[in-house]
Amino acid sequence: MPNTQPPPKHEHETLHFPPGFLWGAATSAHQVEGQNTNSDWWEWEKTHLPENKRSGKVVDQYHRFEQDFELVTKIGHNAHRLSIEWSRIEPEEGKFDEAAIEHYIQVLSSLKKKGLTVMLTLHHFTNPLWLAKNGGWENFKTPFYFERFVKTVVPRLESYVDLWVTINEPSVLVWCGYIEAKWPPQKKNKISAIKAMWNLSRAHKKAYRIIHQFVPNAAVGIAHNVSSFEAFHHHSILEDFMEWFMDISTNHLFYYLTGKNTHDFLGLNYYFNQYINFSGEGHFPEIVDIETTKKDVSDLGWEIHPEGIFDVIMDFSDYHKPVYITENGLASTNDDRRVRFLLSYLKEIYHAIQSGVQVKGYFHWSLMDNYEWSDGFSPRFGLIEVDYKTLQRTPRPSAYVYQEIIENNGIPHYLLKLLGHSVDVKDVLKKDQKA
């Protein structure tokens, strides 16, 4: 009788990513530079946070950037995402600090000399203190102030930048500043939130136009926080409607406000999966507290859900734009968890690429442990561990796993054993097999 058993489906080949794929990590200026004294965040920290949760000197990258970029190259990255600090460059309204601009030229030049592709963010949450005192993003004039800033820095920096991010996570800035009100300006007001979102969208459009005036072939986008949503009951029309509404109002609203023609690529920051449930109590479905499900979470309580990054990439494929994962990472003091996180999320990105989406790069959050806004220093996101007393930098094992992936431009099968592949079930169960 012929052998009709089908061949095994389990493949042992490397999961290859496209040629030229960008592999890197991300930082933001306020979170790594230190002594950002002219910003609204620095001022807010002094009155709203205990001293041990204030940014202070952070990891002092303002002075140690060469050391950090040497580490970037040693662990194999071919790209890096970072931001410049508006409040350093324009510490007083209309007065630009030439020394600060020259500093950022040195920073970006260092990256280019090391052969790294540079993704530069122009606004990453923080504002000049003078701007905050003038109403911040509620002020109708703020997009014009931002336009003036962009006009000043782009011609000075354009030769060192490959990819431009105008604004990091505008929806998070609005949510945390004006809805949840746990960040500056800490103003819980829906009208203010609407004004801020509208002005952020105007600022992006102005910045997009300015960058293209100076650099006609520039690649410009935003880094947008996106979430995946799942209904508990897929036969529930109310839950399905809420899933659609949450996706539109959070993931896609900023693109609707700005128009797809002001985005040359989609920068996606992915951290959150949300479940939706209609219990019958009340009139509308609700977001489920992750504590209810007892799902695996990070040290910050964010669900670890690798399938979600596949879902959001496929959702955004409708825009027919190149995609970069501009942030994705895990807050954990257990680096073994970070290794599993990295492999499982990159596998899902691989599957999205195989499904036809033009994903062109991945930037892990974060390069190193840093200041995590109102959460202070306790969340550990870094591929590189930082001793905050000595500021010594030490690459974690996850950094070297990532290096193996980069060197292979893909996930070699032997690394999948770190997810449980090639583990003998009998050895795990430790059962007596003699019976």
Q: Which residues are catalytic?
A: 327
User: Locate tokens 């970072």: which residue?
Assistant: 82
Query: What sign results for the dihedral spanned by CA atoms 307, 312, 313, 314?
Result: positive
What CA–CA distance (Å, rounded) separates 268 from 326? 5
H or E element, residue 23: strand 22-26
Please report the DSSP string for 369-405 in residue order.
Answer: ----GGGTT-----SEEE-TTT--EEE-HHHHHHHHH
Bridging pattern class, strands 266-277 and 286-287? antiparallel
Torsion of CA 211, 115, 167, 45, to 10 degrees: -130
What CA–CA distance (Å, rounded) separates 91 from 129? 8
User: Which residues face 226 on adjacent strands?
Assistant: 270
Judge contact between 28 and 168, C-beta under 8 A: yes
423: exposed, middle or buried (Cβ count in 10 Å: 0-12, 13-18, 19+): exposed
What DSSP designation does 287 have? E
CB count in 10 Å sphere of residue 334: 11
Nearest 5°: CA angle at 257, between 253 and 261? 110
User: Locate tokens 């293209």: which residue?
Assistant: 212
What CA–CA distance (Å, rounded) separates 392 from 385? 8
Map residue 277 onto helix, strand or coil: strand
What CA–CA distance (Å, rounded) separates 68 from 197? 34
H or E element, residue 212: helix 190-214
What CA–CA distance (Å, rounded) separates 211 from 169? 19
- List the structure tokens of 98: 């030439």
Torsion of CA 250, 360, 398, 408, to 10 degrees: 160
